[in-house]
Amino acid sequence: MPTLNVDLGERSYPIYIEAGILNDAGFVFSEIRANHVIIISNNLVAPLYLEAFASRLKGLHKRVDSIVIADGESEKTLQTFEYVLSQLLAMPASRDACIVALGGGVIGDLAGFVSACYQRGIDFVQVPTTLLSQVDSSVGGKTAVNHPLGKNMIGAFYQPQAVYIDTTSLVTLPEREFSAGMAEVIKYGIIYDEAFFGWLESNISLIQNKDANTLNKMIARCCEIKATIVALDEREQNVRALLNLGHTFGHAIEAEQGYGNWLHGEAVSTGMVLAAKLANMRGDMELAQLTRIESLLTAFSLPTKGPENMNANAYITHMQRDKKAVNNQMRFVLPKGIGSAHVVANVTQQELITLLDES
Amino acid at 58: K
Question: Cβ atoms within 10 A of the Cβ of 138, count?
Answer: 31
- Phi/psi of residue 157, each to 5°? -85, 120
Are residues 359 and 277 in contact, defined by beta-carbon separation less than 8 angstroms? yes
Report how far residue 131's alpha carbon sits from residue 105's, in angstroms, rounded to the nearest whole number: 9
With b for 16 or more beta-carbon neighbours within 10 A and e for fewer, the 36-45 pattern comes to bbbbbbbebb
CA nearest to 288, candidates 332, 337, 355, 245: 337
Are residues 13 and 159 in contact, defined by beta-carbon separation less than 8 angstroms? yes
Cis preceding-peptide flag for 92 (omega within 30 of 0): yes
> Per-residue DSSP letters for 12-39?
-EEEEE-TTGGG-TT---TT---SEEEE
Burial class (CB in 10 A: 0-12, 13-18, 19+), 264: buried
347 Cβ neighbours under 8 A, 6+ residues apart: 278, 330, 332
326 Cβ neighbours under 8 A, 6+ residues apart: 345
Q: How many residues does the chain have?
A: 359
The residues annotated as belonging to the active site are 120, 142, 184, 226, 236, 240, 244, 247, 251, 264
